[in-house]
């Protein structure tokens, strides 16, 4: 897929949101991983993303496309 902003080829991967921290300092972290690391415990190329992104939703295919910035 080409980037809708710049037109360059994008890497396929997945975005994961999970809780992190301790009981007194809990937070959510959103991370992107390359496709080849999906389902593996050790992920060598994580990219931490901002927690909010503008996105578009398609009613027809029920899919969201969002553009997250690196934190």
26-47 per-position pLDDT tens digit: 788 888 888 888 888 776 778 8
CA pseudo-torsion sign 43, 46, 48, 49: negative
Average pLDDT over residues 10-25: 81
CA 71 to each of CA 24, 47, 52: distance values in angstroms, whole numbers, following the listed order: 23, 8, 10
Average pLDDT over residues 14-36: 82
Single out the residue of 25, 5, 9 nearest to residue 68, CA to CA.
5
Residue 28: per-residue pLDDT: 84
Q: Work out whether strand 63-67 and strand 13-21 pair parallel, antiparallel, or are unpaired.
A: unpaired
């Amino acid at each position: 897929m080409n980037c809708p902003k710049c037109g360059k080829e994008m890497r396929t991967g997945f975005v994961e949101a999970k809780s992190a921290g301790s009981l007194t300092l809990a937070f959510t972290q959103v991370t992107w991983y390359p496709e080849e690391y999906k389902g593996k415990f050790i992920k060598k190329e994580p990219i931490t993303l901002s927690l909010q992104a503008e996105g578009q939703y398609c009613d027809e295919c029920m899919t969201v496309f969002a553009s997250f910035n690196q934190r």
